[in-house]
Amino acid sequence: MIKASRRDVSAPLSELARGGPPPARQTDREAEKPRSTGPAINSGKVDPVASELSGPLTGVTMLMSFDGQSADDNRNVLGFAFVPPDTNGAVGTKQYVQMVNVTIAVYDKSNGSLQLGPAPIHSLWKDFGGLCEFGGESVFFSDGGDPVVLYDHMANRWLVSQLQYDETFTHSAQCVAISTTSDATGSYNRYEFDFGTNFPDYPKFGIWPDGYYNSINVFPGKSFAGAAACAFDRNAMLAGAAASAICFQQPPSVASLLPSDVDGDTLPPAGAPNYFVGLADSNHLNLFRFHADFAHPANSTFTGPTLVQVADYNEICARAITLACIPEPAPGEKVDGLSDRVMFRLAYRNFGDHESLVVNHTVAGGTLGGVRWYEIRNPGSAAAVYQQGTVVDPDVDFWLGSIAMDKAGDIALGFSAMSKRQFSSVYVAGRTPGDPAGAMFGPLVLASGGGVQFSSYKRWGDYSSMTIDPKDDCTFWYTQEYYVTTGSFNWATRIGAFKFDSCRVGTR
């Protein structure tokens, strides 16, 4: 168990994020690279569920599409830019919050206008002290990256987090802030959880009724110790009280898990565990069940893995952190595929007569990259894939997706699309419950790129985010990176909102 080493209540973010004079221009920087967790997964077989999009995505209304933060915002507030952006966002009752490496911005979700920022993420920890505020005590280490923002619709609060570490990478922490109201520009209950020398790489969060669940890849030094699953005391953190995290370390054979993140008004059955999913082998996923007991931590359990059979697949890029293979038009560089892990989020929904998890990862969909997606039902008992597919195109790489379901059972899958002849674009594919199992339609194009990246360490991602509007439980919000103009460290991001016309108030 890890007790929070620091906690307090902040001043309003609107005050903490007030900018100072423009910083001096400095050298652009690569964010901490996701570290190797083992050999590539390769079935040696043709993907049996690979299919092109089944037709246009009709019956969907685009509500909004606008540019979010960019590398230039990094330069304006920090003096230098990061790659990759680690683009993610979440939607609340009135606002949309986007986080990238290493800035945060708050938008009015009714019209996309900027309410706050872009501001350095570390501004949220001003006057907090410790590693979360000071990092390595230099501008290059004032933000550790790997940011995550989620909206806790059960409490109408925001969860904002980022990794932090010192200049020697021998002292690390997870910095977590929970808003005190539904206003993302207001005050926050701030926490620092000290992981010491166990570097908690690639942290991802999921919200559950009894906790804020978290997955990390643990590196004590340069060696990989395995994934760890943690549960943070949600009730305590909502109240601003002393809080702890219960963690279970896994062996090196288990890597890059995702915790389930609940969508919708129908909550999981009382006492249901949080579910963690990761890649197992070329035709299985690992599924774990985490029951956290903060009153009696010794009673907490992390059971599994249950092997969930899936169609055969192969990774692309032979582990993206060692070989980038997604091509761009000239003069662009090949970029990371990040196919060694499932992609944020693991979205959970309880439909009453069944429970579903949806998740995706990048695979070799033939000679090019494709996005493999799954709907897993009955995760609490006899978990099994209800439907699956790999979205591919004969001429374009698809990769780095994020997936979610609305209350009617419609599914939206966002991803990057690019080829030797096509600039990076932001695509969405989708389906309704009445469509043939495994079929996806589209693309809905949120943004078409106008340039390529070069001399940017071949980084892309490392993730994106598809979330559901808690007000109507129908509107999808997706954010992803792309390039508007050719350059080095010149990424842009797009934020888009859309809904299936068949999803209405009162429908299920």
At residue 377, φ and ψ (nearest 5 deg) are -110, 160
Determine the Cα–Cα distance for residues 376 and 366; give it in Å rounded to an integer.
Answer: 24
Determine the Cα–Cα distance for residues 6 and 8; give it in Å rounded to an integer.
Answer: 7
**Confidence (pLDDT) at 508:** 41
**Confidence (pLDDT) at 396:** 98
The vertex-466 CA angle with 460 and 497, nearest 5°, equals: 110
* pTM score: 0.97
**Confidence (pLDDT) at 506:** 61
* Unique residue bearing structure tokens 């790129």: 449
**Total number of domains in the chain:** 1
Determine the Cα–Cα distance for residues 300 and 223; give it in Å rounded to an integer.
Answer: 27
**Confidence (pLDDT) at 267:** 98
What are 350's two structure tokens? 């309880």
* Unique residue bearing structure tokens 């662009």: 332
Q: Which residues of 64-101 are buried (b: 16+ CB within 10 A; e: fewer)?
A: bbbebbbbebbbebbebbbbbbbbbbbbbeebbbbbbb
The answer to whether residue 20 is domain-embedded is no
3 state SS of 134? helix
The answer to whether residue 29 is domain-embedded is no
What are 86's two structure tokens? 């680690």
Q: Within 10 Å of residue 35's Cβ, how many Cβ atoms?
A: 15
**Confidence (pLDDT) at 320:** 45
DSSP secondary structure code for residue 334 in this structure: P
The answer to whether residue 16 is domain-embedded is no
**Confidence (pLDDT) at 30:** 83
We report the CATH number of the domain holding residue 133 as 2.120.10
CB 357 within 8 A of CB 375: yes
The answer to whether residue 412 is domain-embedded is yes
3 state SS of 226? strand
**Confidence (pLDDT) at 322:** 55
Picking from 328, 233, 214, the residue whose alpha carbon sits closest to that of residue 274 is 214
The answer to whether residue 291 is domain-embedded is yes
Q: Per-residue pLDDT for the chain (508 aa), expressed as one digit of tens each?
A: 999 999 999 999 999 998 777 788 888 888 766 666 778 898 889 999 999 999 999 999 999 999 999 999 999 999 999 999 999 999 999 999 999 999 999 999 999 999 999 999 999 999 999 999 988 655 556 899 999 999 999 999 999 999 999 888 889 999 999 999 999 999 999 999 999 999 999 999 999 999 999 999 999 988 999 999 999 999 999 999 999 999 999 999 999 999 999 999 999 999 999 999 999 999 999 999 999 999 999 999 999 999 999 999 999 986 645 578 999 999 999 999 999 999 999 999 999 999 999 999 999 988 899 999 999 999 999 999 999 999 999 999 999 999 999 999 999 999 999 999 999 999 999 999 999 999 999 999 999 999 999 999 999 999 999 999 999 999 999 999 999 999 999 999 999 999 999 998 764 4
The pLDDT tens digits of the residues spanning 382-402 come to 999 999 999 999 999 999 999
Task: Look up the domain containing 131 and give its range.
Answer: 2-9+36-500
| Helix ranges, 70-129 (H) | 71-78
The answer to whether residue 507 is domain-embedded is no
Determine the Cα–Cα distance for residues 262 and 272; give it in Å rounded to an integer.
Answer: 12
